[in-house]
Chain A
Amino acid sequence: EPEVTQTPSHQVTQMGQEVILRCVPISNHLYFYWYRQILGQKVEFLVSFYNNEISEKSEIFDDQFSVERPDGSNFTLKIRSTKLEDSAMYFCATVASGGAGETQYFGPGTRLLVL
């Protein structure tokens, strides 16, 4: 069964450094999402992406964050200058056609630790 993959599985970085989290969506999926989960807390929506544009973003997704699909396959989340509070698990999710109520398929996540 096709899966969403994410790299790296773990990332440790110093505060103020830039990180790029990568996601490979299921082939032919068109909608992409990033979520984050701070340890012990609920999963929170960050941003959705369709047709090379941000569709929707939450208040968490400030100017430090950006997303792109640089090569038509990978979907990346960049945090420009990491803060301690960015430490979390980051999940990518993809949807086939973005129709209402479609199942979102989640990747295994990247655990980011900012020191």
Chain B
Amino acid sequence: AQTVTQSQPEMSVQEAETVTLSCTYDTSESDYYLFWYKQPPSRQMILVIRQEAYKQQNATENRFSVNFQKAAKSFSLKISDSQLGDAAMYFCAYQYNNNDMRFGAGTRLTVKP
């Protein structure tokens, strides 16, 4: 069974600094998709970034980038130049084909001014 593990329940970062959120997963598949979703206090989940497992190049989206290590089954999210609006729960998620998305337990990110 595919599982997603986020080992950091909470993280804190100073405004304008960089923070990395960890995610590992377990799968026997070779072709799959990984996502980071942000859930602010309003509770609507918003896609931050997406990575296709067959692509070696790490995905980037403005201040957000990932470090995808397929062999290690690791998919960390780096947030550069952190802003107060980045404060939220961040969920790592795995999807194989068009099947259901499996989420990690989440990391609560606090941004200190």
Contact = CB atoms under 8 A, between A and B. Distances in A.
Contacts of B15: none
B100 A103 contact: no
Interface string B27-38: 000011101010
Nearest to A101: B33
Contact of A103 (B31, B50, B99): B50
Interface residues of B, number: 26
B100 A33 contact: yes
Contacts of B50: 101, 103
A89 B43 contact: yes
Contact of B91 (A42, A56, A93, A101): A42
**Of residues B44, B100, B101, which shows the largest number of chain A Cβ atoms within 10 Å of its Cβ?**
B100
**Of residues A55, A56, A99, A100, which shows the largest number of chain B Cβ atoms within 10 Å of its Cβ?**
A100
Contacts, number: 58
A103 B44 contact: no
Interface in A41-70: 41-45, 48, 55-56, 58
A31 B99 CA distance: 11
B98 interface: yes
Interface stretch (B60-68, B77-85, B103-111): B103-111
B97 interface: yes
Contacts of A41: 105
Contact of A107 (B44, B52, B97): B44
Given A101-B33, A101-B50, A101-B52, A31 B98 contact: yes
Interface residues of A, number: 28
B45 interface: yes
B102 A95 contact: no
B56 interface: no
B27 to A, nearest CB: 14
A25 interface: no
B95 interface: yes
A89 B37 CA distance: 16
Interface of B: 31-33, 35, 37, 42-47, 50, 52, 91, 95-106
